[in-house]
C-alpha cells in the first residue's frame, strides 16, 4: 500500500511507535553501560536475551497506557504522566517475568532502575523537543516580530495560540506588562522585557513589526495610555476581543482586530439588576417608538432577550423598520413581533396601535436629533419631538399603560438649539403629565452615543476615508460619550428605579474633547494627524455649545440605588398653561406660522432664549499641530 493511502493519523502514530520501539533497546543498552562500562561476551548475550522479553512487554505497556492517543505537537503534563506510568508498570512486569525465567541472572540490580529513568527521559524528551521545535518554527524563522502587551492569562493564551499556529506570519519576541513583579520572568520561554512605558524603546531595540494588545479587561483610561505608547512606537497594533465577548464564547483570544475608537472612548462595564429588569419587562407587551433607529433598534435587541409577551416596534423609516424586523425574526424566531410603519404625529395610527396591542410598557425613542439640520426647521422639530411625544404620551395615559419612558438628551439642559429645546419641552410635558395620570412617566437623559446615526464618529470616518480634512468645530469643544448597548441597558434600568415623574440622568463619566477624538481616529486609520490628514477647526455651527450639561442647576441632582443613574427632580409648571401653549404650537404648525412657533418655544423653554443670547461666537479655523 502506498504511503499516501495511509491516513495521516495512523502514519503519525506509527512513527511514534517506531520511535519508542528503538528507544527501549537504547535505554536497556545504556543502563548496562552506565552500570558496567564494559560488556563481557557472556553478559552481552544475557543482555540481548533479556531484551527479547523487555521489548515486547514495554511496547504492550505503552499501548495499554495510551501513549499514542496524544499528539506530539501538543505534548504536555498528562502525556508525561502517561509515559511515567507506562515505563514503571512495564519495568515491574519485566522484572517479574525475567525473575521467573532466569532468576535475574546476569542482570545487575541497578540496571532496571537506570533503564526506567533513561526510558522516561528519552520518551518525554523527544516529545517535548518536538513541540518546542514546532512552537518556535525553528525550521523557518520568519514572520512579523511580535511584542505582546499583557503578561497575564490573556497574554499567555495569545502566545500559546501564536506558537501553535501553523500560520507562520508572526514570530513572538517578548512581552511587556505594567505589573513590575512580572518583569524579567518568562512565559513559554519569552521574557517579560519591561512595562508599557518601555514599548517605544523595545520596538526599536528588538525590531518589533507589530504590537498585540492582550489586555481585554483594561479600563478605558488604561487602554488609552497603552495606545499612546503604541502611537509613539509608530508600528501597527492589534487587540484581542473584549473580556465580555471572550467570556460569552463569541470569539477566541487569537481573533485579533484593529483597535476601534469605541475601545478608546468606552467605559467600565455597567452592572445591572437584570433579575428586576427581566421581571419588569418579561411577559409584558412592550412598545418602542423609533424602533429602527440607533437607540430604538438596540432596545429591541435587548428587550427581545427578556422574553416579552409581544414586542411592538414603530418607525417612520421603511428601510429601518424592515431591517430591524428581519434581524429580530432571524435572531428570535419565537418572538411575537409586530412592526408598524408610521409617524408618531399621526394620532389615528398611534391610537390604533395602542388599541390592537395594548402595551404595558412604552419606550419613546422616536425623535429628530440632528442639531444643525433642525436649527432652521423649528416647525418640524416641534411637530415631531413635542407634538409627537404629546400624542404618544396622552394615548399611553388613555390606554392605561403601566410605564412610559421618554428617551431624552443632555442637549435639553440649558438648550442652545432648537433640537435641545424641543426635547426639553417633551420632558416638561411628560413630567407634568405624570401628576395627572396613573401611568408612570419617566424621563432618561444622556449624552452622545458612540456610532449612532448622524453622530460625529461616522462623519469623521467618511472624512478620513476621503483623505481629509477632518472638520472639528472648536479646540475647546467636548462631549460625553457612551456605547449604544450601555445606554439602552441603563434606559431599561430606569423602569426598575422609577416611580413616575423622575428625570434619570445617566453618569457619562468624563467628557472627551472632540479634537482628541478626531486625532485618535486618524491615528487608528494608520495615518498621522497634521501630516497625512489635516484637522480643521471651523467654528461653532448654529445651535452648538462648547460643553454639554447633564442637569440644570435647579433640578436637585440626587443619587439612586444604581451608581450609574442619578435623579434630577423635575420643575413643575402650570398644567393648563402648558396644554394651552401646546395647542397653540399645534395650530401654528398647521398654519406654518414659523415666527410664532419660535416665540412659543421660548415661552415653553425660557432657558433656550437665555442660552442663545449668551452664545459664543464661532472660533477661527486653525490647523492641528500633531503631538510629538
Q: What are the sequence ranges of the domains in the chain?
A: 3-135, 144-259, 274-449+481-507+548-613
> Which residue numbers in the chain have pLDDT < 70?
1-14, 37-42, 69-77, 131-142, 165-168, 241-256, 258, 260-272, 448-455, 480, 507-510, 540-564, 569-571, 609-628
Question: In degrees to the nearest 10, what's the CA dihedral of 33, 34, 37, 42?
Answer: -40
Nine cell digits for residue 122: 528519552
Q: Are 597 and 581 in contact (CB under 8 A)?
A: no
CATH 3.40.50.720 fits 274-449+481-507+548-613, yes or no: yes
Q: Kindly give, in sequence order, each residue whose CB lies less than 8 Å from that of residue 253, ignoring residues fewer than 6 positions away.
A: 154, 157, 158, 161, 214, 240, 241, 246
So what's the pLDDT on residue 42? 65
So what's the pLDDT on residue 137? 52
Sign of CA dihedral 92, 93, 99, 104: negative
State whether residue 617 is helix, strand or coil. Answer: coil
Bridge partners (DSSP) of residue 404 are 362, 441
CA-based nearest residue to 405, from 609, 625, 565: 565
User: How would you classify residue 493: left for phi > 0, otherwise alpha for psi between -120 and 50, otherwise beta?
Assistant: alpha
So what's the pLDDT on residue 627? 30
Asked whether this chain's domains 144-259 and 274-449+481-507+548-613 adopt the same fold, the reply is yes
Q: Which helix (H) or strand (E) holds 243?
A: helix 243-248
Q: Are 594 and 407 in contact (CB under 8 A)?
A: no
pTM (2 decimals)?
Answer: 0.63
So what's the pLDDT on residue 159? 84
So what's the pLDDT on residue 623? 30
So what's the pLDDT on residue 292? 92
Residues found in the chain: 628
Reported CATH class of domain 144-259: alpha beta
So what's the pLDDT on residue 590? 94
Amino acid at each position: 500500500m502506498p504511503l499516501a493511502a495511509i491516513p495521516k493519523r495512523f502514519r503519525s502514530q506509527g512513527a511514534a511507535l517506531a520511535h519508542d520501539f528503538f528507544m527501549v533497546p537504547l535505554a536497556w543498552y545504556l543502563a548496562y553501560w552506565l552500570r558496567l562500562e564494559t560488556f563481557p561476551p557472556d553478559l552481552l548475550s544475557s543482555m540481548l536475551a533479556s531484551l527479547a522479553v523487555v521489548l515486547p512487554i514495554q511496547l504492550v505497556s505503552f499501548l495499554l497506557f495510551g501513549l499514542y492517543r496524544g499528539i506530539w505537537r501538543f505534548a504536555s503534563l498528562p502525556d508525561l504522566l502517561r509515559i511515567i506510568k507506562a515505563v514503571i508498570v512495564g519495568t515491574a512486569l519485566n522484572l517479574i517475568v525475567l525473575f521467573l525465567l532466569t532468576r535475574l541472572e546476569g542482570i545487575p540490580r541497578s540496571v532496571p532502575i537506570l533503564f526506567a529513568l533513561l526510558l522516561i527521559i528519552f520518551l518525554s524528551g523527544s516529545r517535548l523537543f518536538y513541540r518546542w521545535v514546532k512552537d518556535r518554527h525553528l525550521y523557518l524563522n520568519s514572520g512579523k516580530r511580535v511584542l505582546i502587551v499583557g503578561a497575564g492569562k490573556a497574554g499567555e493564551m495569545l502566545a500559546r495560540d501564536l506558537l501553535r499556529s501553523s500560520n507562520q506570519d508572526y514570530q513572538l519576541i517578548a512581552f511587556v506588562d505594567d505589573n513590575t513583579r512580572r518583569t524579567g520572568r518568562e512565559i513559554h520561554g519569552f521574557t517579560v522585557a519591561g512595562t508599557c512605558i518601555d514599548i517605544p524603546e523595545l520596538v526599536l531595540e528588538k525590531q518589533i513589526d507589530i504590537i498585540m494588545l492582550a489586555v481585554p479587561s483594561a479600563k478605558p483610561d488604561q487602554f488609552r495610555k497603552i495606545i499612546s505608547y503604541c502611537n509613539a512606537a509608530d508600528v501597527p497594533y492589534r487587540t484581542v476581543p473584549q473580556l465580555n465577548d471572550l467570556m460569552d464564547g463569541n470569539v477566541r483570544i487569537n481573533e485579533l482586530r484593529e483597535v476601534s475608537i469605541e475601545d478608546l472612548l468606552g467605559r467600565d462595564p455597567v452592572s445591572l439588576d437584570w433579575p428586576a429588569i427581566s421581571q419588569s419587562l418579561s411577559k409584558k407587551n412592550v412598545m418602542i417608538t423609533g424602533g429602527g433607529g440607533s437607540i430604538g433598534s438596540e432596545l429591541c435587541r435587548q428587550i427581545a432577550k427578556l422574553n416579552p409577551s409581544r414586542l411592538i416596534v414603530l418607525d417612520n423609516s421603511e428601510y429601518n423598520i424592515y431591517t430591524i424586523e428581519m434581524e429580530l425574526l432571524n435572531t428570535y424566531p419565537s418572538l411575537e413581533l409586530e412592526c408598524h410603519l408610521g409617524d408618531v404625529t399621526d394620532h389615528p395610527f398611534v391610537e390604533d396601535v395602542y388599541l390592537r396591542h395594548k402595551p404595558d410598557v412604552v419606550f419613546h425613542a422616536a425623535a429628530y436629533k440632528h442639531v444643525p439640520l433642525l436649527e432652521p426647521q423649528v416647525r418640524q422639530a416641534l411637530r415631531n419631538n413635542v407634538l409627537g411625544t404629546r400624542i404618544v404620551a396622552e394615548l399611553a395615559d388613555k390606554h392605561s399603560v403601566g410605564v412610559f419612558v421618554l428617551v431624552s438628551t443632555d442637549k435639553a439642559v440649558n438648550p442652545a438649539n432648537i433640537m435641545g429645546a424641543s426635547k426639553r419641552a417633551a420632558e416638561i410635558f411628560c413630567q407634568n403629565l405624570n401628576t395627572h395620570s396613573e401611568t408612570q412617566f419617566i424621563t432618561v437623559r444622556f449624552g452622545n452615543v458612540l456610532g449612532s446615526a448622524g453622530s460625529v464618529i461616522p462623519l469623521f470616518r467618511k472624512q478620513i476615508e476621503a483623505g481629509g480634512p477632518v472638520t472639528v468645530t472648536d479646540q475647546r469643544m467636548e462631549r460625553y460619550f457612551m456605547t449604544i448597548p450601555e445606554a439602552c441597558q441603563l434606559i431599561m434600568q430606569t423602569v426598575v428605579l422609577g416611580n413616575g415623574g423622575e428625570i434619570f440622568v445617566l453618569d457619562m463619566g468624563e467628557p472627551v474633547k472632540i479634537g482628541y477624538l478626531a486625532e485618535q481616529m486618524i491615528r487608528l486609520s494608520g495615518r498621522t494627524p497634521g501630516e497625512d490628514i489635516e484637522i480643521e477647526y471651523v467654528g461653532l455651527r448654529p445651535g452648538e455649545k462648547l460643553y454639554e450639561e447633564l442637569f440644570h442647576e435647579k433640578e436637585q441632582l440626587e443619587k439612586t440605588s444604581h451608581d450609574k443613574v442619578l435623579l434630577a427632580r423635575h420643575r413643575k409648571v402650570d398644567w393648563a398653561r402648558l396644554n394651552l401653549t401646546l395647542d397653540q404650537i399645534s395650530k401654528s404648525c398647521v398654519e406654518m406660522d414659523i415666527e410664532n412657533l419660535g416665540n412659543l418655544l421660548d415661552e415653553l423653554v425660557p432657558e433656550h432664549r437665555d442660552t442663545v443670547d449668551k452664545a459664543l461666537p464661532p472660533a477661527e479655523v486653525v490647523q492641528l499641530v500633531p503631538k510629538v
